[in-house]
Amino acid sequence: MESILNNSVATLVAYVSVASMYLFVIPLMLFYWMNNRWNIMGKLERLGVYGLVFLFFPGLILFSPFLNLRLRGNTKG
């Protein structure tokens, strides 16, 4: 058991899992949350979202070219 914990492969797996959570999983969840709640958020929730955007900015910038958070206009016109 001790050889498994001191193994460099286990360390590499831990680094990759933390990096993937930081760069991919949490930013996608944050984009989904912002997209669904942007117009109905309260003040404190918006402040929390701004803090999370600041914290997870590298992951958010990776997905920003592919995701659209603009308001949906009315289809008439």
Give alpha helix (H) positions in the chain. Answer: 2-5, 8-20, 26-37, 43-55, 57-63
pTM of the entire structure? 0.77
Q: Per-residue pLDDT tens for 1-23?
A: 567 666 888 889 999 999 999 99
Cα gap 12→14, rounded to integer Å: 5
Between 30 and 75, whose confidence is greater?
Answer: 30
Tokens 């991919």 map to which residue?
24
* pLDDT > 90: percent of the chain: 56
The closest alpha carbon to 27, from 50, 58, 69, belongs to: 58
Cα gap 1→70, rounded to integer Å: 52
